[in-house]
């Protein structure tokens, strides 16, 4: 499926139209011209509940696939964008391959043509992982793009579906746009649908309908070209082709399965068996494509076995999250981004001139702050959501960033990037082992991590997820915590911990001055320890309570402790303060990270 597709240039299109090649999946292009587009105005009525969050709109797939639910939202987006941005523009379309994406692609194409878009770039078969979509938007100078995904959530007719719009820099649309979309969903009464047939998305090439054009592109091409500019592929290849190095990448039957073989195997020379679950499926083979210790159970078993590979990694549904493992060793996302940042200048050519700045989401452990201090660069603490990082990147103040929810990235795109994080770790490993002879004692993931702790200290960190809770009791719990934080005073005792401050995190964007309020209730202690509670907006129904626990340890003799053991006293205090079991009825979390 992922064989190379030639990009359709005017010359290539003309040759194809004269019968210069077969219309096959082997990579030749096609051009098909149709009559001028006729636009039909289809009556519709507003649908409740189409409020767009930081990660777009997510609901059950059955909701999106019924009636005009998707069409209403897409039409509202076109109405919300400045007319000059839409008329005559180019846009991008792709997604994670989940159920309903194929049908949704055709609806979006018809609405795009009906609303004045001139050209749509679509990943073959509707495929584009989220970071690749950002890369295509930037490479093709598009005004923006649609990403069809519910990220790490399950897929299938009874599971989740989602859509978001990324703007011209490749970053998720800002709040002023998502708020405007929601406003139009409450009044939309007409859909501008082009009267065109469905487009064959299985073959790369161009289809023209009058002034409207659809170009189906290889979903890997633009992204791979960008990665080659970021990393030293020869250096990474020297590691992956060593006789004594083994890796395993678990694509979890999600979108990065379409990228893993072309990148890791075909280009970088990894053994074909190093990629598992590499065929994308509409329902992710019934799995939950969230790369953590619970849902990536198959990879975890392999990496904690007697004959474990040297390096393991997994990615999520839409390819923007990652999990990194060594031989019998797990790297927390908070540590991962810090270690990448600490080694970036030496190991990754893209950063050879230095880092502009670093940033992390507020719940993410402060390991990155210590690296920033050591390097003498800015470090920003932002709300959860990649758009906040995008503003800093566009202003030239941010190079590497991450979120504890297994998202890591850099300013090569404006999204978190799972394969990028994997390649960053492979770059570090390749650099550290460049002079180690085959059969010699290799430097592994665990050694690199422990050396990092010895230099910067260890931020013990854990996240407890309570998924699928009833929304009202969760909201009541958060309100109770806000009241306790407001009443708390510096010096208050919480067991053996002394309070420094407690608040509901608020962020003023240093670039555009926008203010984000109520981003998570945090209790921070004088030794740097803290616990945080927030409700996640990444699900399609109910509420997910997230509890974050962090404690700093400078003493190398104590850094090897199990995180749950080290954090146990603070976890007990957090649960008691929040009264989580009382409010939610949950005695234990769904997932512990």
Looking at the annotation, which residues are catalytic? Answer: 151
HSE (side-chain half, CA atoms, 13 Å) at 32? 14
Query: What Å distances lie between residue 280 and 69, 96, 127, 298, 360, CA to CA?
Result: 26, 8, 10, 17, 30
Q: How far apart are CA 247 and CA 309, in angstroms?
A: 5
Q: Is residue 546 within a helix (H) or strand (E), and if so which, with residue range? A: strand 543-553
Burial of residue 99 (number of CB atoms within 10 Å: 0-12, 13-18, 19+): buried
Sheet holding 205-209, edge to edge: 31-34, 205-209, 212-217, 119-127, 90-95, 144-148, 160-167, 57-60
Query: What Å distances lie between residue 380 and 350, 533, 547, CA to CA?
Result: 21, 20, 21
Q: How far apart are CA 575 and CA 578, in angstroms?
A: 5
Q: How far apart are CA 281 and CA 283, in angstroms?
A: 5
3 state SS for 131-181 = HHHHHHHHHCCCCEEEEECCCCCCCCCCCEEEEEEEECCCCECCHHHHHHH
Paired tokens of 564: 């749950």
HSE (side-chain half, CA atoms, 13 Å) at 528? 14
CB 504 within 8 A of CB 517: yes
Q: How far apart are CA 276 and CA 299, in angstroms?
A: 9
Q: How far apart are CA 30 and CA 14, in angstroms?
A: 9
Query: What Å distances lie between residue 395 and 388, 389, 411, 509, 525, CA to CA?
Result: 11, 10, 11, 12, 33
Paired tokens of 192: 């501008």
3-state secondary structure of 550: strand
Sign of the Cα pseudo-torsion (316, 318, 319, 322, in order): negative
Sign of the Cα pseudo-torsion (95, 99, 102, 105, in order): negative
3-state secondary structure of 316: coil
Query: Of how many residues is the chain composed?
Result: 593
Strand partners, 172: 166
């Amino acid at each position: 499926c992922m064989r190379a597709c030639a990009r359709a240039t005017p010359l290539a299109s003309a040759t194809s139209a004269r019968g210069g090649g077969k219309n096959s999946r082997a990579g030749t292009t096609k051009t098909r011209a149709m009559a001028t587009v006729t636009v039909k105005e289809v009556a519709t009525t507003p649908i409740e509940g189409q409020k767009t969050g930081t990660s777009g709109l997510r609901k059950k797939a059955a909701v999106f696939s019924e009636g005009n639910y998707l069409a209403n939202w897409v039409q509202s987006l076109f109405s919300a964008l400045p007319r000059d941005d839409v008329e005559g523009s180019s846009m991008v379309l792709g997604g994670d391959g989940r159920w309903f994406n194929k049908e949704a692609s055709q609806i979006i194409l018809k609405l795009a043509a009906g609303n004045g878009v001139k050209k749509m770039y679509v990943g073959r078969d509707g495929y584009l992982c989220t970071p690749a979509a950002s890369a295509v938007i930037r490479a093709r100078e598009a005004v923006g793009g649609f990403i069809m995904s519910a990220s790490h959530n399950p897929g299938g007719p009874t599971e989740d579906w989602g859509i978001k719009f990324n703007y011209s820099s490749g970053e998720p649309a800002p709040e002023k746009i998502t708020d405007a979309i929601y406003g139009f969903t409450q009044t939309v009464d007409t859909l501008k649908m082009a009267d065109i047939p469905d487009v064959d998305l299985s073959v790369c090439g161009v289809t023209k309908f009058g002034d409207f054009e659809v170009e189906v592109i290889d979903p890997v091409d633009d992204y791979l070209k960008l990665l080659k500019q970021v990393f030293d592929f020869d250096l990474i290849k020297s590691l992956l082709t060593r006789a004594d190095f083994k890796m395993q990448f678990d694509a979890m039957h999600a979108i990065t399965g379409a990228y893993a073989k072309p990148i890791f195997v075909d280009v970088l020379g990894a053994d074909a068996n190093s990629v598992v679950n590499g065929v994308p499926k509409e329902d992710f083979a019934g799995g939950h494509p969230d790369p953590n210790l619970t849902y990536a159970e198959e990879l975890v078993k392999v990496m904690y076995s007697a004959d474990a590979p040297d390096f393991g990694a997994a990615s999520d549904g839409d390819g923007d999250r990652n999990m990194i493992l060594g031989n019998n060793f797990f790297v927390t996302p908070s540590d991962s981004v810090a270690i990448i940042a600490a080694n970036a200048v030496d190991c990754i050519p893209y950063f050879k001139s230095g880092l502009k700045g670093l940033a992390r989401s507020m719940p993410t452990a402060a390991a990155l702050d210590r690296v920033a201090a050591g390097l003498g660069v800015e470090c920003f603490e932002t709300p959860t959501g990649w758009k906040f990082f995008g503003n800093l990147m566009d202003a030239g103040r941010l190079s590497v960033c991450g979120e504890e929810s297994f998202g890591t990235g850099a300013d090569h795109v404006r999204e978190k990037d799972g394969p990028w994080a994997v390649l960053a770790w492979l770059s570090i490993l390749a650099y550290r082992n460049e002079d180690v002879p085959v059969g010699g004692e290799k430097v592994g993931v665990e050694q690199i991590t422990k050396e990092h702790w010895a230099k910067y200290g260890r931020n013990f960190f854990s996240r407890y997820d309570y998924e699928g809770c009833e929304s009202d009791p969760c909201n009541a719990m958060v309100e109770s915590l806000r009241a306790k934080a407001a009443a708390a005073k510096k010096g208050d005792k919480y067991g053996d911990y002394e309070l420094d401050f407690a608040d509901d995190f608020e962020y003023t964007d240093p670039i555009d001055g926008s203010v984000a309020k109520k981003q998570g209730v945090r209790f921070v202690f004088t030794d740097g320890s803290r616990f945080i509670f927030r409700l996640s907006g990444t699900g399609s129904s109910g509420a997910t309570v997230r509890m974050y626990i962090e404690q700093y340890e400078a003493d190398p003799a104590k850094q090897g402790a199990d995180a749950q053991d080290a954090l146990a006293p603070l976890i007990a205090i957090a649960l008691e303060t929040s009264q989580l079991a009382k409010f939610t009825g949950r005695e234990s979390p769904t997932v512990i990270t």
